[in-house]
Amino acid sequence: MKSTRTQTFRRRIAVGWLPVVLLFALGGTATGCSGASGGAARTYDPGAVSGGGAGVTTGHTMGHAMPTSAEVDTAWAARPAYVQGANARTQEAYAFAIARPDVVDWMPCYCGCVAMDHRNNTDCYMKPRTEGAPIVFDEHASFCEICVDITLVAKSMSAEGKTLLEIRVRVDGMYGNTAPGTDTALPPS
């Protein structure tokens, strides 16, 4: 009897971890992270996205210190080749994510990157940072359309003056059934 229980337990673990193993083996393509870098490259001015929408309170983040304009400008000027050569949408999403972690930190990502220990959508663009530390880019969003789409929804709704909670509800509704999402706390109300 103990042998049957052990086999059942092992089978459940194998089935539970199979999607995670496949995600890594396929490089994210099974969950929607596919080459998003086609198209003409443009340069974005991250300073153009640093202002908050009427409904968004700036300054509160989860793991990514809010950068100053100078920090954003410095990071953008030194952005890696995978951002410089990305399509216009991807560059726009990178610019918004590095300038506005106070918005993007509250958005989960539904591309399956939770298997990479990502905590929120900002983790797809940059490594966690403390105040005053340099911005270190992450390559993941450069090839993941879902990451970019989520960020651009947040950018658009922020510009419309929507609250963080309104943005989050939209993101969850649009992408919540795509792949396992990050364990991202709800924004403050």
Residue-wise pLDDT tens for the chain (189 aa)? Answer: 555 544 544 444 443 444 444 444 444 444 456 543 333 333 445 555 544 444 444 455 677 999 999 999 999 999 999 999 999 999 999 999 999 999 999 999 999 999 999 999 999 999 999 999 999 999 999 999 999 999 999 999 999 999 999 999 999 999 999 999 999 999 987
Write down the residue that tokens 């990157």 correspond to: 113
CA atoms of 140 and 8, how far apart (whole Å): 36
Task: Tell which residue, 112, 123, 117, has the closest CA to residue 23.
Answer: 112
Task: Return the pLDDT at 187.
Answer: 92
Are 37 and 87 in contact, with CB atoms under 8 Å apart? yes
User: Quick check: 95 and 69 in contact, CB under 8 A?
Assistant: no
pLDDT given at position 95: 98
- Altogether, the residues listed in the chain come to a count of 189
Per-residue CA distances from 167 to 7, 8, 10, 17, 119 (Å):
44, 41, 40, 31, 17
Q: How many CB atoms neighbour CB 70 within 10 A?
A: 8
Residue 55: count other Cβ atoms within 10 Å of its Cβ: 15
